[in-house]
Structure 1
């Protein structure tokens, strides 16, 4: 590896280190309580070094937002080969749950925290184009799958876009309650299930039965 390649590798490694430490601080302490100085202390560099790569902390949290959607997109992309649209929809639900449970910090940044959306509102006016390709592509995959389900007789009488929002909103509600511990607490206190994940899987199974009945 030549000098130029080593410098580029060092640059990319440092950018990733900044993102990793910032993600941990954002999810542990919140956006407002996390400063560039705190992130710099975590990576053991000066704040000036961070400004070489990111304009401010809103730029950092948006970069994390993008990274999270890319990871989720990778999980969904392999499902494009599932020919039957309803089976693909079920697989997408399972992949969404898996992503939320395995990447709780990313899930918090992507779907709970408001700050990435503030960045989008301020800097990415064309949300359907270059402004937010990751989020647009992810939801569009769900939308197309719902349309294909309707094409073979599922979800009759449902408006496609609003129904897609309903499906996503239901999944998000279950996952966010699980990630924050509320679903597990409720399930255990009522002696329904031993853990939040058990409750989540059971609720998802019943949601699928409801969707299956809408044909």
Structure 2
């Protein structure tokens, strides 16, 4: 390995260390209560080191969102090979729930944690746009195939996302105490199937 490659690997390792430390503290203490110095103490480096890689907390938050959406899009990619558009949509929903259950801390940071979103509205935020874009693409395929009526594709995609996200968040936040614990997962699965059937017959 050459000097250039070794230095780049070291930079990537440092970025990962910084992001891991920031994610841990953001989730434990809340975005507003975490400082660059706190993150530096967590990873046992100086604040100056962090500033070599990220200009402020917003840029760190932005990078963590990028990390999350890149991972989510990777989960969706194999499903695009499915030929039936509605089956593709259903499997994307299952992949979304699976991603949340397997990556609860990352999901919390992406969608639940209160934090300023100004840097996340960048026009070049391709990762977030790509995730929603895949959903709208599949919804459009369902419309074109006559499975859904011709509603606004983005509004339809938002409604579907909101529905699946809602009970996923309830599950992760342990807000399902009204359900028998022994049957909770099967009820969640039944609820998802019912939601999918409602989509097929109600849109």
Following TM superposition, the consecutive aligned residue runs of length 4 or more in structure 1 with deviations greater than 3 angstroms are: 195-199
- Residue 108 of structure 1 pairs with residue 108 of structure 2: yes
The answer to whether the Cα contact below 8 Å between 1:142 and 1:164 also exists between their aligned partners in 2 is: yes
TM-score, structure 1 as length reference = 0.87
Tell me the TM-score normalized by structure 2. Answer: 0.92
Ranges in structure 1 where 5+ consecutive residues have no aligned partner? none
Residue 179 of structure 1: which of 160, 165, 172 is its match? 172
Alignment of 1:116-195 (within 5 A): 117-121=117-121, 124=122, 126=123, 131-183=124-176, 185-187=177-179, 191=180, 193-194=181-182
- For residues 186 and 45 of structure 1, what CA distance do their matches in structure 2 show? 46
- Aligned-residue RMSD, C-alpha: 1.7
SS at match of 1:186: coil
Gaps in structure 2 of 5+ consecutive residues: none
Q: Deviations over 1:158-200 (max 9, x none)?
A: 33221111100001111111111112x232xxx3x42654443
Equivalent residue pairs, number: 203
Aligned counterparts of 1:195 and 1:21: Cα–Cα separation in 2: 36
Q: Identify which of structures 1 and 2 has the higher relative contact order when contacts are C-alpha pairs closer than 8 Å and 6+ apart.
A: 2
Q: Which residue number corresponds to residue 4 of structure 2? A: 4
Distance 1:161 1:7 in 2: 43
Deviation string, structure 1 residues 29-74 (Cα, Å, up to 9, x no partner) = 1101111111111111111110110001111010000110000010
